[in-house]
Amino acid sequence: MSSTSDNPLTRFSAFIWALGVFSLFGVIVLALKLFSHDTTGKNPLEEAAAAKRYEVRAGVDAAQKAGFAYKEVEKGKTVQVPPHDVFASLGEKLLSEKPAPVAVDAQIVPGSDRATAKSTEAGPDMSAVDKRTPAADTPIDPAVMAKGQATFALCAACHGPAGAGVPPVGPPLAGSEWVTGPVSNLIRIQFRGLQGPLHVKGAVFTPLAPMTPVIATQDDETIAAVLTFVRNSFGNKAAPVLPEQVKMLRSELGKPMLTEADLIKP
Ligand code: HEC
């Protein structure tokens, strides 16, 4: 008589259980796969992305097609117009368009017709600006000096950290009659730049390159502060430059570079 332990189903029950659990797992995975996916085999998210791509592509194709020009070289034979012809027609199109007017002085291109026209405009009254200069013994605000010193870092490259000049890159500011002279000169130089030979401290300074208006786009306070700083540093002593004086000469911006002859003799 066989005992229960001889029944193969009992002897291999662990194996049979494992087989059962494994198969059940397989059935669950299969069921999940079947029901989570759309039977067409298409993923709706991918489909939506693809539709967008096709739409963009069609737009690009249409835009390119519209940009190409074709011409009939002989009957029934149409060729694409060579690229240089396309560029030529684009150039003509651009030329025929009216350019946008220059809205602000800072946009005026040096040497342009607009710059030349501006140089012949009746300029601001320099004597009105210079008349506003405070008395020579006016105390200088230390905050203005500190602000001016910070901006002077830009000037130091050409004029030297102590304003002694870096020939032939920049003339001296220390002891320069221009620096302590009429304020309108200094402000105009900041707005228009300065070129050509210049008499400084009894010698003719011929610059390697003109002085470009480096701080012309900064605010009135900043320009006034750096000018006040150079007028009261390196042994110089002169009245401060007021932001309102800088403001009075804003319209100088965009005019051609100055030469010594344009300045008031100090
Ligand atoms: C790229 C170099 C350069 C920079 C930067 C520069 N300058 Fe000049 N500056 C010159 C040159 C060059 C001249 C002389 C131009 C000429 O003789 O035509 C000059 C002339 C001057 C003059 C009149 C001449 C004199 O020596 O007194 C003043 C004032 C002056 N600069 C102030 C300044 C101030 C202030 C700054 C900074 C905001 C500045 N410069 C930045 C190159 C520079």
Q: What is the pLDDT of residues 20-62, one digit of tens each?
A: 999 999 999 999 887 776 666 677 888 888 999 999 999 988 8
What is the predicted pLDDT for the residue at 5?
60
C-alpha 211 – ligand 1 centre gap (Å): 5
Same-domain check for residues 125 and 233: yes
Q: Is the domain of 257 the same as that of 136? A: yes
Question: Do 118 and 151 sit in the same domain of this protein?
Answer: yes
Q: State the average pLDDT for the chain.
A: 88
- The structural domain count of the chain equals 3
Nearest to 171, CA basis, from 138, 212, 203: 203
Give per-residue pLDDT as tens, 172-210.
999 999 999 999 999 999 999 999 999 999 999 999 999
Residue with tokens 């074709």: 70
Same domain for 250 and 157: yes
What domain range is 77 assigned to? Answer: 44-96
Co-location of 120 and 10 in the same domain? no
Residues 19, 87: one domain?
no
Same domain assignment for residues 112 and 91 = no
Residue 101 falls within a domain, yes or no? Answer: no
The rounded Å distance from CA 131 to ligand 1 centre is 24
- Tell me if 151 is assigned to some domain: yes
The whole-model pTM stands at 0.66
Shared-domain flag, residues 181 and 222: yes
Domain shared by 49 and 160, yes or no: no
Identify whether residues 16 and 53 lie together within a single domain. Answer: no
Question: Does 56 share its domain with 24?
Answer: no
In a domain, 102, yes or no: no
Q: Which residues line ligand 1 (CB under 6 A)?
A: 154-155, 157-159, 170-173, 176, 178-179, 186, 189, 194-196, 198, 200, 205, 207, 210-212, 214-215, 226, 230
| Nearest ligand 1 atom, CA 260 | 18
Phi-psi region of 77 (alpha: psi -120 to 50; beta: other; left: phi over 0): beta
Per-residue pLDDT tens digits for 97-109: 776 666 677 778 8
- CATH number, domain with residue 113: 1.10.760.10
Q: Are residues 64 and 142 in the same domain?
A: no
Rg (CA), the chain: 40
Task: State the Cα–Cα distance between residues 185 and 222, nearest whole angstrom.
Answer: 17
